[in-house]
Amino acid sequence: MTKYVNKKIKNRYMEIDVDEYAESPREFDDIVKMLFIHKRYDLGDKHECFNPDSFDSWDDIKQYIQDELSGMYIRKVYMLDHSGLSISLRDFCDSWDSGVIGFVYIPAGYVQKYKIDEEQANNIISSSIEEYDNYLRGEIYRFYIYDEKICDCCDTKLEEHVDSCCGFIGDPKESMSGYVDFEEWEEI
């Protein structure tokens, strides 16, 4: 937990902590699809009619995505499983703890609807992978702002809730910048 004091308002504090109850960003992303296969983890998106045992290779699965799921801009996704999970569009070059976990793609319907070109697709896909990677690594935060007051009758320190929000994925200062002006706060 990181604690800040407000530079302008006396006795106002903010705490930034890990958001242990955050929902997966996969619940809200409908443009980028992730088809991952792993024996121990349920990752990526749900694919009702997909049976990984029906395929002989990653190339077969890629062809299935292209033909049956109308996938475009299909990219391999790699996972590192060592004291936590991490995913990337690049190979981790660790033959013991990493390898291909599946594919990420954008359905043709979205490509046509939003007129997505290759550069845009790469940016959208990279962003989605980075966001999901942060989620898998537990880099989801919340903030809680409160005023510290002293009770008039018993001199007990009280916290009066002012504001709070949760579900910020990635670097807290970057992801919270639209909600918190960090110029007004000093870390203590």
Last residue of a domain, one of 112, 136, 160: 136
What distance in Å separates the CA atoms of residue 28 and residue 151, rounded to the nearest whole number?
A: 43
- 172 phi and psi, to 5 degrees? -60, -40
Give yes or no: residues 51 and 113 share one domain.
yes
Q: How confident is the model at residue 47 (pLDDT cuts 50, 70, 90)?
A: confident
For residue 30, name the pLDDT band (cuts at 50, 70, 90): confident
185 residue type, one letter: W
pLDDT-derived band at 107, boundaries 50, 70, 90 = very high
For 127-185, write each residue's pLDDT tens digit.
Answer: 999 999 999 999 999 999 999 999 889 989 999 999 999 999 999 999 999 999 999 99
Residue among 101, 108, 113 at smallest CA distance from 65: 108
Do residues 53 and 87 share a domain? yes
Q: Is the pLDDT of residue 26 over 90?
A: yes
Kindly state whether residues 131 and 59 are assigned to the same domain.
Answer: yes
Q: Please give the pLDDT value at position 29.
A: 80
Q: Please give the residue range of the domain that contains residue 103.
A: 25-136
My answer on whether 127 and 62 are in the same domain is yes
Compute the mean pLDDT over every residue in the chain, rounded to the nearest whole number. Answer: 95
Q: Which residues contact 81 (CB under 8 A, 6 or more apart)?
A: 97, 98
Asked whether residue 41 falls in the same domain as residue 64, the answer is yes
